[in-house]
């Protein structure tokens, strides 16, 4: 972390990543905007730190202010690294999705528990490599502990919450063809989006709890009774749902308790590289923040 290595002035324990339509988080007190640079470059936007009750949070607009970063270009490693650097332990990822099921309607909310990666594999998706090999478990990509509290918060703030849900992450930026949409439905997917990956993979590698709050904006293009999705209608539905998303996250922050979680020890049994080589790997591409942890568990 080049700009802030020598200072610990800024910190947060809950990270909020806002997706389409959620570019600012209302209700924060003692707000500070922090511009960071990471070994992976700059995050999507400056991070906005503030207090919600007695918890400190860091908000990050995934697409940048003004929505200028396409899904394939989101600097996910920089984003997760910056949150980790700030001391974040839990990340709530908010995103717009299309529904692949008739009983999940536009305006509804889904608390995610599973993912299918249908991106093209070109997004940098690991902090490891270049001599350090780690295989974290991704069997349950969303943290069960955070998810259950988030689900309760959502149920108090919104009349139509679905839980759990499987998210199919496509590359975009185009929406699906009808044949693709029907294929994903035949796989049993619940919702479709473009941004949950590689975020979830990187959160696990960074030993962060990660939860997904999906805001349903459309029926993709499969529903015979609805027009195929377009970006403008997504934005309109999002605008009406952003308040609910913020209420849910605020309630989550108020009700959640920081605590130990298996997510925080995801690297314990993940490293395969010979420990002699690991301890000699300082200065290699894996950033010091993770290397320190890897060296301890090797």
- x-or-dash string of contact with Zn ion, 145-164, rule CB under 5 A: x-------------------
Beta carbon of residue 141, minimum distance to Zn ion (angstroms, whole number): 11
286 is a site residue for Zn ion (CB under 5 A): no
| Residues contacting 241, CB < 8 A, separation 6+ | 21, 107, 109, 215, 217
Residue 71 β-bridge partners: none
Residues 245-274 that bind Zn ion (CB under 5 A): 261, 263
Q: Looking at residue 220, what DSSP letter applies?
A: T
Give the 3-state secondary structure of residue 189: coil
Give the 3-state secondary structure of residue 250: helix
In the bound state with Zn ion, the residue whose beta carbon lies nearer, of 51 and 145, is 145
1 is a site residue for Zn ion (CB under 5 A): no
Beta strands 209-218 and 109-111: pairing type? antiparallel
Q: Tell me the C-alpha distance between 223 and 67, whole Å.
A: 27
Is 11 annotated in some ligand binding site?
no
Q: Which residues are catalytic?
A: 218, 220
Q: Tell me the C-alpha distance between 21 and 177, whole Å.
A: 24
Is 20 annotated in some ligand binding site?
yes
Is 275 annotated in some ligand binding site?
no
Q: Tell me the C-alpha distance between 75 and 42, whole Å.
A: 7
| Residue indicated by tokens 């080049």 | 2
112 is a site residue for Zn ion (CB under 5 A): no
203 is a site residue for Zn ion (CB under 5 A): no
Residue 93 β-bridge partners: 17, 212
209 is a site residue for Zn ion (CB under 5 A): yes
Residue 209 β-bridge partners: 90
Is 195 annotated in some ligand binding site?
yes
Point out which span in 109-117, 166-174, 203-211, 219-227 binds Zn ion (CB under 5 A).
Answer: 203-211
Q: Tell me the C-alpha distance between 35 and 102, whole Å.
A: 42
Beta carbon of residue 209, minimum distance to Zn ion (angstroms, whole number): 3
Is 63 annotated in some ligand binding site?
yes
136 is a site residue for Zn ion (CB under 5 A): no
Size of the site for Zn ion (CB under 5 A): 5
In the bound state with Zn ion, the residue whose beta carbon lies nearer, of 192 and 290, is 290
The two three-digit tokens of residue 73, written as one number: 């270009």
Beta carbon of residue 137, minimum distance to Zn ion (angstroms, whole number): 12
The two three-digit tokens of residue 228, written as one number: 């195929």
Is 274 annotated in some ligand binding site?
no
In this structure, the number of other CB atoms found within 10 A of the CB of residue 121 comes to 9
| Among 47, 125, 143, 161, interactor with Zn ion by CB under 5 A | 143
| Stretch (H or E) spanning 296 | helix 288-297
Q: Tell me the C-alpha distance between 263 and 138, whole Å.
A: 10
Beta carbon of residue 164, minimum distance to Zn ion (angstroms, whole number): 15
Beta carbon of residue 89, minimum distance to Zn ion (angstroms, whole number): 8
Q: Tell me the C-alpha distance between 52 and 30, whole Å.
A: 9
In the bound state with Zn ion, the residue whose beta carbon lies nearer, of 16 and 170, is 16
Point out which span in 180-188, 205-213, 245-253, 276-284 binds Zn ion (CB under 5 A).
Answer: 205-213
In the bound state with Zn ion, the residue whose beta carbon lies nearer, of 4 and 261, is 261
| Residue indicated by tokens 């290595």 | 5
Residues at the contact surface with Zn ion, assessed by CB under 5 A: 143, 145, 209, 261, 263
Detail the residues annotated as belonging to a binding site for substrate. 194, 218-220
Detail the residues annotated as belonging to a binding site. 20, 62-63, 194-195, 218-220
Detail the residues annotated as belonging to a binding site for phosphate. 20, 62-63, 195
């Amino acid at each position: 972390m080049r700009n802030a290595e020598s200072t610990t002035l800024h910190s947060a324990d809950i990270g909020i990543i806002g997706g389409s339509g959620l570019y600012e988080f209302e209700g924060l007190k003692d707000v500070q905007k922090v511009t960071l640079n990471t070994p992976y470059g700059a995050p999507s936007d400056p991070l906005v730190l503030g207090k919600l009750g007695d918890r400190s949070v860091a908000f990050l607009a995934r697409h940048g202010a003004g929505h200028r970063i396409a899904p394939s270009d989101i600097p996910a490693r920089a984003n997760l690294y910056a949150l980790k650097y700030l001391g974040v332990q839990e990340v709530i990822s908010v995103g717009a999705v299309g529904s692949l099921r008739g009983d999940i309607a536009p305006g509804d909310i889904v608390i995610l528990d599973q993912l299918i990666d249908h991106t093209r594999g070109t997004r940098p998706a690991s902090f490891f490599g270049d001599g350090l090999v780690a295989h974290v478990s991704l069997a349950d990509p969303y943290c069960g502990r955070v998810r259950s509290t988030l689900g309760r918060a959502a149920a108090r703030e919104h009349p139509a919450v679905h839980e759990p849900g499987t998210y199919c992450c496509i590359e975009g930026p185009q929406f699906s063809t009808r044949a693709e949409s029907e294929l994903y439905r035949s796989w049993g997917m619940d919702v479709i989006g473009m941004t949950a990956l590689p975020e979830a993979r990187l959160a696990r590698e960074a030993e962060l709890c990660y939860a997904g709050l999906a805001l349903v904006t459309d029926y993709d293009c499969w529903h015979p009774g609805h027009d195929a999705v377009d970006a403008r209608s997504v934005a309109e539905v999002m605008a009406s749902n952003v308040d609910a998303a913020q209420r849910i996250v605020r309630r989550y922050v108020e009700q959640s308790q920081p605590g130990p979680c298996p997510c925080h020890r995801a690297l314990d049994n993940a490293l395969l590289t010979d420990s002699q080589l690991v301890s000699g790997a300082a200065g290699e591409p894996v950033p010091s923040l993770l290397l320190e942890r890897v060296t301890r568990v090797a």
